[in-house]
Amino acid sequence: MSYQSTPSYSDFINSPNKWYEVDSLAEPRVFVEDPSKPSDEPGIKVGRYIETDNKFITEYTPEGFMKVQFGGATVTPDEQLAEFANTGIPLRVQDYQNNIALGKTVKANTTIFVKYRVGGGLSSNVGVNSITQVGNTNFYVNGPSNNINQNVINSLNVRNVTAAIGGANQPSIEEARNMVSFNFAAQNRAVTVNDYNALVKRMPGKYGAPAKVAITEKDNKINIEILSYDESGKLTQQVSNTLKQNIANYLSNYRMINDYISVNVAKVIDLEYDISVVLESSENQGQIITRIIDVVNNAMSPAVRDLGENVYVSELRRDIQNVAGVVSLTSIDVYNKVGGQYSSSETSQSYSNSSTRQIQLVDDTIFAEPSQVYQVRFPEKDIKVRVKNLKTVSFS
C-alpha cells in the first residue's frame, strides 16, 4: 500500500501492512486492539489475539537507544511452493532457511511509520468533566452542504461524563524487583499463582492496568480479583468490564489447558481512626496533630498496602508515640465506613459496636482476607485526633 501522507488512526489499527511488537520472534500470536468492540472505560482498549508474520522485537542498547529487530524471511511457504510448481527447480538449502517461522523481514525501499503513546500514570486518572480536549478524531459529515458539514465538525466538543480511572504509576524499585523474580520463574507460562501474577502485570498498558491484584487457586480454578484507582488516587471497586475481559483474554494464551480463569472485583474497606493523645503544652499543638495524621495516612496509603495485608494497630501506636511532642497515646479506635462516598464492603472482623461499626481489634490487629484491602479514603476528616495537654504544676 502506498501512502501519500501519514496514515490515519484506523490505518494503524486495521492495515494489513501493520507490524506488531512481540516478546519473542518465535511467538505465532499477538495480543492486539479489537476496534470492532466498544470499551466501557476511556483510555482502555479491547484486546484479542491474532496470528501474524509481521512482527518485531525491541531492546534498549547500553547507550539508551531502542533497537528494533524484525524477522529474517522474505518468502512465504506459499510463494516457495508456487516457485517450485512454476519452475520445477528443486528447493535449495538457503530456501529452507528463508522461512517465516521467525517472522518476515522488511523489504528494501520500504517506509515505516511508527506510532507510540505516552501514559500519564496515576495523574491521568481524572474526575467527571475534566477531559475537554482530544487529540485525533475521525469525524465525517456527508451532508449536501460543505459549509454546514464543516460547521458541524467545528462544533465538536468533548466532556467526560464518567471519571477516567485505571491508570497506574511506574512500579517502585521494590515492585520491579518482585516482578523480575516472578517473571523469571514464569518463562511465559502460567503454572503457579505467582506465574499468573507476573503475567497480569506484563499485559500492555493500553489494555488497562489493575491497581491491585490478588490471585488464588482452587481445584484448577484461578480466581483473580482486582481493583482500580479513582481520580483522587484512592482504591475503588469501580473496575472496567473491559479491563476484566482483557485480563482473561490475555492470560488464555499462557494458562494450563485444564485451568479455568475467573476475573472479579476485590473489596475495598474504608476506615476511620479516632485517636486520643496527651501532648506537651509547650509544643505547637497544630503541628503535632498534622504529624500524627501524616503517620496514619502514610501507613494506610494505597501505594504501600496490598490485598490481603493486615492492619497492625500496634505498629501505629509505636509510630504515633514516637512523634515529637506526644507524651502518651491514650487510645486508638477504628471504624468501618460504609455507603455514600465510601465503599459498600465491610470487614470480616467482628464489631465491638455494631451501630457505629467500631472494629473489635484482635491482638491489636485488623485482619484481612486475600480479597480485601484497607485504606483511609478521606484522611482530612477520617483521621481524628483528640488532644489533652500536659500542664506542668509547680509546688512552693
| Same domain for 374 and 349 | yes
Give the mean model confidence (pLDDT) for residues 155-168: 76
Residues 58 and 36 in one domain: yes
The closest alpha carbon to 246, from 7, 2, 101, 43, belongs to: 43
Report the alpha-carbon distance of residue 373 to residue 381 in Å, rounded: 20
Judged against a pLDDT cut of 80, whether residue 193 lies above it is answered with: yes
| Chain centroid, CA 77 distance in Å | 40
Q: Give the mean model confidence (pLDDT) for residues 299-319.
A: 93
**Which pLDDT does position 138 carry in this prediction?**
63
Q: Report residue 12 as a C-alpha cell.
A: 494503524
pLDDT single digits (tens) 249-282: 999 988 888 888 999 999 999 999 999 999 988 8
Instruction: Using the Cα atoms of residue 243, residue 245, residue 248 and residue 250 in order, give the sign of their dihedral.
Output: negative
Mean pLDDT in residue range 191-216: 88
Same domain, 303 and 365: yes
Residue range(s) defining the domain that contains residue 254: 119-265
**β-pair partners for 384:** 274
Q: Taking 90 as the threshold, does the pLDDT of residue 380 lie above it?
A: yes
Residue 350 has pLDDT above 50, yes or no: yes
| Res 114: pLDDT | 85
| Domain total in the chain | 3
User: Is pLDDT at 386 greater than 70 in this prediction?
Assistant: yes
At residue 15, does pLDDT exceed 60? yes
Write down the pLDDT at residue 396.
46
pLDDT of residue 183: 56
Is residue 110 in a domain?
Answer: no
For residue 194, what pLDDT is reported?
A: 85
Assigned domain for 4 exists:
no
Q: Which grid coordinates are listed for 65? A: 537507544
Quick one: 126 and 184 in the same domain? Answer: yes
The owner of cell 519452475 is 87
Residue 396 inside a domain? The answer is no
**Which three cell numbers mark 57?**
522485537
Lowest mean pLDDT among 3-7, 58-62, 99-103, 130-134: 99-103
In whole angstroms, give the CA distance from residue 216 to residue 264.
12
**Residues 193 and 67 reside in one and the same domain:** no
Question: Do residue 253 and residue 330 come from a single domain?
Answer: no
43-59 mean pLDDT: 89
Q: Would you state the pLDDT for residue 99?
A: 65
Instruction: List CB contacts of 179: < 8 A, sequence separation 6 or more.
Output: 171, 198, 201
- In a shared domain, residues 64 and 85: yes
Question: 59 in a domain, yes or no?
Answer: yes
Distance CA 379, CA 296 (A): 9
Distances 61 to 21, 117, 180, 202, 325 between C-alpha atoms, Å:
17, 21, 19, 21, 53
**Closest C-alpha among 379, 386, 364 to residue 277:** 386
Distance from C-alpha of 76 to C-alpha of 10, rounded to nearest angstrom: 27
**What length does the chain have?**
396
Residue 161 DSSP class: S
